[in-house]
Amino acid sequence: MPPRGGDGDGDEGGGGSDDEKVVGLSAKAFYSRYQVLLSRSPLVTKSVSAGLITLLGDVIAQWLESRIEGYHTWNIVRMAAFTVAGGFFVGPFVHYWYEVLWAVGRRLPASTPSKVTTLLQVFLDQTIGVALFFPAYFYVYEYCEALFAFRRPMPSAAKKKIQADLRSVLVNQYKVWPFINFVSFSMVPEQLRVLFSNVASVFWNIYLCSQIGT
């Protein structure tokens, strides 16, 4: 868009439309507010972010499923279960697990190259972290779904789903998360890495919600 000018309103320098400026200011204000919340209540802020982003992933997943199947009814129980699982499990897990990874990095000798530190953290995340997170997530989702469906939780159902789906989930996560986490651990400020991970996981959650929620 060419810059506006010549009308005496002091906007000859361009810089985008009024709407673009409003969006830019809103994004800056949101970022500043998020930083404040992170400093005051990091765990709560990250947990709420994880819950909302997981909800968004399931909304998109259900919409895509409806396009494929040719009809649509919102599964509110599934949406609520994923939101609570995201807020009460994913957010806290990632928060504390990242603290462990940063502690590992700080304990390495000062002469350790930064790339070596990053590769070690990614390796730990994609081995120990994955082994801890995914099996537990299947059970957490089962209990959350049971809560909102007003039924008794069935650990055996979660176990069957792990046996049926865990391998494909792991194969697909290894296609994307090692690279995403390498970028996160090497380029993103430490306090924003959980948010970066959550935003990146919107697309991952579309797949994961479809896989676990069916």
pLDDT of 25 reads 61
pLDDT of 65 reads 87
Each domain of the chain, given as residue ranges in start order, spans 42-212
pLDDT of 10 reads 47
The two structure tokens encoding residue 145: 């779904």
d(CA 48, CA 35): 14
- Which residues contact residue 176 at a Cβ distance below 8 angstroms, ignoring those fewer than 6 apart? 204
pLDDT of 23 reads 64
What are the average pLDDT values for consecutive 10-residue runs of the chain, which has 214 residues?
A: 44 56 70 85 91 92 86 90 95 93 93 94 96 96 96 95 93 92 88 77 85 78
pLDDT of 17 reads 64
Backbone φ and ψ of 190, nearest 5°? -55, -40
The two structure tokens encoding residue 172: 């697909």
The two structure tokens encoding residue 134: 């995914």
d(CA 31, CA 194): 14
